[in-house]
Structure 1
Amino acid sequence: MSNSMFISIPVLFNREAFQNDLIYWYNERKRDLPWRENQDPYRIWVSEIMLQQTQVDTVIPYFEQFMNRYPTVYDLAEANQQEVLKSWEGLGYYSRARNLHEAVREVVESYDGKVPGDKKELKKLKGIGSYTQGAILSIAFDQPEPAVDGNVMRVMSRVLQIEEDIAKPKTKKLFEDVVANVMSEEDPSSFNQGLMELGALICKPKNPQCQICPVQKHCAAFGQGIQAELPIKTKAKKQKKEAYFALVMIDPAGHYFIQKRPEEGLLANLWEFPLFSQAEFDQYALLNWFEFEYNVKLNVKSNNGQVKHIFSHVIWEIDIVVAELTSGEIPNIKGHWINQEDLKTYPFPNVQKKLMKQLLIN
């Protein structure tokens, strides 16, 4: 395959038969998922944001409780961001929730509460990239717009034997052009969902179930016996590791100290037991600095363990330091002192939930 960013559809590829076989299979075999109950663009939007980087089975209960709590764009727009983050707690990638919340407010303010069905208007909303835009326009508004994610690139790379590296960002545009060329204009909703479903259930990354694939006769890779070799995907760089101390402070009344993370960056606006980089302090230096900085005396418990959390780009290794205040005033540090029961009301990232589980405090 050349390096040019253009893929020509083979002359012998029967678009109409491919569309019909895929759509028929999808309508016969599609999973019963809560966001497929209707074509409400708001519900579809929420589901697509939740499904980014998250498995379907994980998303279902989150989607149901989220829609029960915020059944319309107005309900979500009126909600406090901390409440929204608490509803999202455990799903990860919290910028998705913040962007969705902000974009829904824009829909209420600028579009009379109606999710726009216009491509240019939809793209203006925060957090809506080309995939989400295509999914909403095709599924909710029956517009023939491609919605290309990893599943779709895998399916089409095999069907049309496309040997471009799907790990490269520019390749996605190529696949969007390919899907736009072969998709059904009569039923773009079923076509796009059919490609996604096929990638999820049949055309899997490893051991694709080609013998029961509804589009097997259209698949160039199957015909050549090279389906296991596609798609081509270079490996991502190894994740870097970062080491931290989590300082879990308890005052004489049994309250825990938590603080809010910054408004920008990783895990923005979520709550945590304070983290300190081990690149700056060892434990002894950290405690000395803290006691001097805030005029307190800490009694440190030993053997508090460690938690590890893997993000998409970095691995955190956190040593837990539990420290009781034994003398002096409560330190004048920005945050909240709360009892154990109230910890449940604040939105914490998964890494902090792991920490609480380790300490048996939640």
Structure 2
Amino acid sequence: MLIRLHAIDRPRRHAIAEVRRRSRACRPPSGIAGDLAEALMDLGSSLCTARGRPDCSACPLHQHCEAARRGTAGQLPRRAETRERRKMAALVFCIQGPAGEVLLARRPADGLLGGMWAMPMSTPVSRDEFDPDALIRKARWRSIVFASLPRPVRHLFTHIDLQAHVVRADVPCPADIVLREGERWWPAEAARDVLPALMRKALDRAGSG
């Protein structure tokens, strides 16, 4: 509501910072701050709603509202400009044992899927740079033969449009695989319960071929 009152035509996050700056310079008289805050919240929830068109004609602050004077109240607060998602690709290694168990690794705390359980995945790169054959050759599992699946899994993150290309390998004896810190074998159904959406889709793709 205060964004409209001052007609601050900036993305919401920056506009809120400007409202705070102006509010510090204009303190209400002693003893009415609480009542004023409550009244402003009532106006914001009833007449000057953030979503939909504000009912300016019924607002008691109409004559003092700069956005109403300019005819821009319905356009504020301005939404942040959405950045185009980067189109990237990564390779997901689905390694399964004879009972359907799946090799999962805890992702690093920082970055994509931070701290979550996931099947081993290469670092996402731009699709122009993506070379799945080279990634398979560089993989640490030298004795495992991977089969590439034909269709990548697509998943949208806030800033990334990711194509996850899934390769699958069945190993007869999981105990022969040397595990690194943060890796373990999970029963297939239990794995689905801990995997994020991208990895569940990749696991489904590995199962359907």
User: Under a length normalisation based on structure 1, what TM-score does the superposition of the two structures give?
Assistant: 0.44
Aligned with 1:343 (options 191, 198, 208): 191
Q: Is the 8 A contact 1:301 1:323 kept in 2?
A: no
Q: Is the 8 A contact 1:202 1:213 kept in 2?
A: no
C-alpha displacement at 1:202, in angstroms? 2.8
Q: Provide the residue aligned with 1:36 in structure 2.
A: none
More strand by share: 2
Q: Provide the residue aligned with 2:132 in structure 1.
A: 283
Q: Is the 8 A contact 1:158 1:230 kept in 2?
A: yes
SS of 1:297 mapped into structure 2: coil
Q: Is the 8 A contact 2:95 2:168 kept in 1?
A: yes
C-alpha displacement at 1:306, in angstroms? 1.3
**CA pair 203-340 structure 1, distance change in 2 beyond 3 A:** same
Q: Is the 8 A contact 1:259 1:271 kept in 2?
A: yes
- After the TM superposition, which residues 214-225 of structure 1 pair with which residues of structure 2 at under 5 Å, given as runs? 214=59, 217=62, 219-225=65-71
Q: Provide the residue aligned with 1:208 in structure 2.
A: 53
Query: 1:333 & 1:188 partners in 2: Cα distance?
Result: 62
Query: 1:239 & 1:317 partners in 2: Cα distance?
Result: 12
C-alpha displacement at 1:343, in angstroms? 1.6
Query: 1:227 & 1:216 partners in 2: Cα distance?
Result: 12
Aligned with 2:179 (options 333, 339, 344): 333
Is the aligned partner of 1:315 residue 2:157? no
SS of 1:186 mapped into structure 2: helix
Instruction: Mark the structure with the bigger radius of gyration.
Output: 2
Query: 1:324 & 1:196 partners in 2: Cα distance?
Result: 59
Q: Provide the residue aligned with 2:102 in structure 1.
A: 256
SS of 1:322 mapped into structure 2: strand
User: Under a length normalisation based on structure 2, what TM-score does the superposition of the two structures give?
Assistant: 0.70
**CA pair 302-186 structure 1, distance change in 2 beyond 3 A:** closer
Query: 1:351 & 1:281 partners in 2: Cα distance?
Result: 18
Query: 2:200 & 2:35 partners in 1: Cα distance?
Result: 43
- After the TM superposition, which residues 89-108 of structure 1 pair with which residues of structure 2 at under 5 Å, given as runs? none
Q: Provide the residue aligned with 1:268 in structure 2.
A: 114
- After the TM superposition, which residues 68-147 of structure 1 pair with which residues of structure 2 at under 5 Å, given as runs? none
Q: What is the one-letter code of the residue matched to 1:324?
A: D
SS of 2:68 mapped into structure 1: helix
Which structure has more relative contact order (CA 8 Å, sep 6+)? It is 2
Q: Is the 8 A contact 1:248 1:320 kept in 2?
A: yes
C-alpha displacement at 1:192, in angstroms? 7.1
Q: Is the 8 A contact 2:101 2:188 kept in 1?
A: yes
C-alpha displacement at 1:175, in angstroms? 1.1
SS of 2:176 mapped into structure 1: coil
More helix by share: 1
C-alpha displacement at 1:333, in angstroms? 3.2
Q: What is the one-letter code of the residue matched to 2:70?
A: Q
Aligned with 2:2 (options 146, 156, 170): 156
RMSD: 3.8
C-alpha displacement at 1:276, in angstroms? 1.1
Aligned with 2:11 (options 145, 163, 166): 166
Q: Deviation digits for residues 91-117 of structure 1, max 9, x if unmatched?
A: xxxxxxxxxxxxxxxxxxxxxxxxxxx
**CA pair 173-305 structure 1, distance change in 2 beyond 3 A:** closer
**CA pair 360-157 structure 1, distance change in 2 beyond 3 A:** farther
Query: 1:245 & 1:275 partners in 2: Cα distance?
Result: 6
SS of 1:351 mapped into structure 2: helix
Query: 2:60 & 2:206 partners in 1: Cα distance?
Result: 52
Query: 2:162 & 2:42 partners in 1: Cα distance?
Result: 38
| Structure 1 runs not aligned, ≥5 long | 1-154
**CA pair 269-185 structure 1, distance change in 2 beyond 3 A:** same
Is the aligned partner of 1:185 residue 2:29? no
Query: 1:328 & 1:260 partners in 2: Cα distance?
Result: 18
Q: What is the one-letter code of the residue matched to 1:322?
A: R
Q: Provide the residue aligned with 1:32 in structure 2.
A: none
Q: Percent identity?
A: 17
